[in-house]
């Protein structure tokens, strides 16, 4: 019996099918997880650390990605810095330097496409939880423009019954009242935000990319 020779067509298909699969995977938009951290200093491990600060999760995350050692916020306050990221513009361009106004309240930026809206226009399902916009849009219609799905806002959560630190020489402002809260992690706003985000990632439809901030 003569040995069977593989058909050139079969050989071509065996070569072509994996290539098509690779092209399909490469063309599929990636899911995007955008994590915003409010008012953080450089005490985390990847930025040099501090002898009293342990950041094992951030350390592991940094090892899997790229750490920018000379990156700086556009502004030292929440609203102008977040506006800068969401619009891709410097505070000197937006004109926003303080905790108000929202950029949507200004005629110049009312119709400007912000970061989540850009993703939505390119086929992404968009989710928001925690503090992404410094000022959350007031109406349902306004919120729907920014994100399709809104989760818990986060915040401090349960507060101690009494002050943790006595009044300081600088006054009795809440910003000076820092300490370890006598509560479980589950009682805090950050836990609610993270738990909700995990659930959205697990339950999101597989046929559409997601942008979760």
Active-site residues: which are they? Answer: 78, 134
Cα separation, 91 vs 141, in Å, equals 27
Give the full edge-to-edge strand order of the sheet including 210-212: 32-33, 210-212, 125-128, 149-150
The conformational region for residue 123 under phi > 0 = left, psi -120 to 50 = alpha, else beta, is: left
Cα separation, 4 vs 53, in Å, equals 69
* Class of residue 44 by CB neighbours under 10 A (exposed 0-12, middle 13-18, buried 19+): buried
Best CA proximity match to 151, nearest among 118, 117, 195, 185: 195
Which position has the token pair 């409010």? 38
């Amino acid at each position: 019996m003569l040995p069977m020779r593989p058909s050139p067509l079969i050989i071509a298909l065996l070569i072509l099918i994996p290539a098509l699969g690779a092209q399909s995977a490469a063309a599929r938009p990636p899911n995007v997880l955008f994590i915003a951290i409010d008012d953080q200093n450089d005490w985390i491990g990847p930025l040099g650390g501090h002898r009293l600060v342990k950041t094992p999760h951030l350390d592991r995350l940094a090892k899997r990605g790229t750490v920018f050692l000379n990156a700086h916020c556009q502004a030292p306050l929440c609203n102008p810095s977040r506006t800068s990221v969401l619009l891709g513009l410097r505070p000197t361009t937006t004109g926003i330097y303080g905790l108000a106004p929202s950029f949507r309240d200004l005629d110049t930026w009312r119709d400007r496409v912000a970061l989540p809206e850009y993703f939505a226009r390119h086929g992404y399902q968009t989710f928001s939880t925690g503090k992404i916009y410094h000022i959350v849009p007031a109406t349902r219609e306004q919120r729907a423009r920014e994100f399709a799905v809104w989760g818990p806002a986060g915040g401090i959560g349960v507060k101690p019954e009494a002050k943790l630190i006595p009044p300081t020489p600088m006054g009795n402002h809440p910003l000076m009242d820092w300490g370890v809260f006598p509560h479980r992690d589950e009682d805090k706003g950050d836990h609610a935000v993270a738990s909700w985000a995990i659930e959205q990632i697990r339950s999101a439809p597989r046929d559409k990319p997601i942008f979760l901030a």
